[in-house]
Amino acid sequence: MSADAEGFAPGRLWSLWDIMIHFDVRLLILRMRHIEDFEELLSTGAPIGGSPPVDGSALTMRLTPSNSPNERLSADGRKWLWAHIGPLQVELSPLALTVAQTEVQHIWNNAHIWTAKEMAGRLKEFRLKLTNELNDRFFVYLTPEEAHYFRETQPFGKETIGAFHSSEVDIGEASKCFAIGRNTACVFHCMRILETGLRVMAADVGIAFDVQNWQNVIDQIESEVKKIGKTLPSGATKSQRLQQLSEAAVQFTYFKDAWRNHVSHNRSRYDANQALSIFNHTKEFMGALAKWLQE
């Protein structure tokens, strides 16, 4: 959502209740009804009736000097008009309804010139413009579960972010993309997250990672693992390191063959179930890496 909409921030979620309160939907509907009723009175020149005083005499407000639709508005008529359209200048601001706001000012600037019948036509035109502008404002609805993925600030957990801080943006985007149904984009960000892990692991065994394809890097890592197996002294430390590197290399090969090559070369598109599965696999794997590897 654009930041032009007063009070709204791009990227923030708003509940239906937030929107109803922020825009005071009930008041806007009420004003439109009053304006529509006012149009009818202006078209006929009929006065606005009020409650009779205690002496029983009629209390009315003349919209024109002699209740004719072909006359200009009276002072009372202009006061009534401003009482209903004036506040709209402020009330329409939150959604940046500039056309409707400009029309309100235009109506008021000419309230002393137009006849009651002309004013009725202008008010009808104003309501139409407001309706058209409102129809051009769109909101994306998220289920509570989708909203959870959108709002989550650390979807992979603090430990993973701490270990692979350069992937923080991609982790957040993967979660948000899944929330709004951009499933292939979610998978794309997951592959970028995994590439961060591969780059860090390559650096851990002394391999430079620039623009090489994954398979070349994985092959070099596996070659280094064999060297480590021959050079490190036997013991628990050696066994653990070899196991960690070997298992990670196997997993990276799996990710590469199953998803990375396909999404990077525009070969596949993913649905929500596939995206969620890949998201969770990536989360689990990066969490496991974070226990022994970090940038």
* CATH number where 237 lies: 1.20.120
E strand segments, 29-130: 48-49, 60-61
A 10 A CB-CB count for 5 gives 16
Are residues 207 and 121 part of one domain? no
What is the reported pLDDT for 81? 93
Asked if residue 273 belongs to a domain, the reply is yes
**Looking at residue 236, what is its pLDDT?**
84
CA dist 176 and 186 (Å) reads: 8
pLDDT tens by residue, the chain, 295 residues:
444 455 556 567 888 888 777 777 888 899 999 999 999 999 988 877 644 344 444 446 788 888 899 999 999 999 999 998 999 988 888 778 999 999 999 999 999 999 999 999 999 999 999 999 999 988 888 999 999 999 999 999 999 999 999 999 999 999 999 999 999 999 999 999 999 999 999 999 998 877 668 888 999 999 988 888 888 788 888 889 999 999 999 999 999 988 887 786 677 899 999 999 999 999 999 999 999 999 9
Per the CB < 8 A criterion, the answer to whether 98 and 84 are in contact is: no
157 and 81, same structural domain? no
Q: Are residues 102 and 155 in the same domain?
A: no
Contact between 92 and 24 under an 8 Å Cβ cutoff? The reply is no
Last residue of some domain: 135, 170, 202? Answer: 135
DSSP string of 105-166, one letter each residue: HHHHHTTTTSBHHHHHHHHHHHHHHHHHHHHT-------HHHHHHHH-S-TT-HHHHHH-GG
Number of helices and strands (H, E) in the chain?
Answer: 14, 2
Instruction: Provide the whole-model pTM.
Output: 0.75
Instruction: Name every residue whose Cβ is closer than 8 Å to that of residue 90 and which is 6 or more positions away in sequence.
Output: none
Cα 246 to chain centroid distance, Å, stands at: 41
* pLDDT at 67 (0 to 100): 87
Same domain, 206 and 69: no
Is there a domain that residue 10 lies in? Answer: no
Examine the domain organization and report whether 174 and 282 are in the same domain: yes
pLDDT at 52: 39
Indicate whether 9 belongs to any domain.
no
pLDDT of residue 26: 85
DSSP 8-state assignment for residue 60: E
Q: What pLDDT, on a 0 to 100 scale, did the predictor assign at position 140?
A: 85
pLDDT of 7: 58
Question: Between the CA of residue 91 and those of 2, 101, 111, what are the distances in Å?
Answer: 18, 9, 20
Indicate if 182 and 128 belong to the same structural domain.
no
**158 and 274 part of one domain:** yes
Find residue 61's DSSP bridge partners: 48
End residue of a domain, out of 115, 135, 155: 135
31 and 128 together in one domain: yes
**Burial group, residue 265, by CB count within 10 angstroms (0-12, 13-18, 19+):** exposed
| pLDDT of the residue at 189 | 97
Domain around 100: 16-135
Identify whether residues 121 and 178 lie together within a single domain.
no
Do 154 and 119 share a structural domain?
no
For residue 167, give the DSSP letter. Answer: G
Whether residue 126 is contained in a domain is answered as yes
- Say if 4 falls within a structural domain: no
Give yes or no for a contact between 149 and 240, defined as CB atoms under 8 angstroms apart. no
Does 118 lie in the same domain as 79? yes
As for how many domains the chain has, the answer is 2
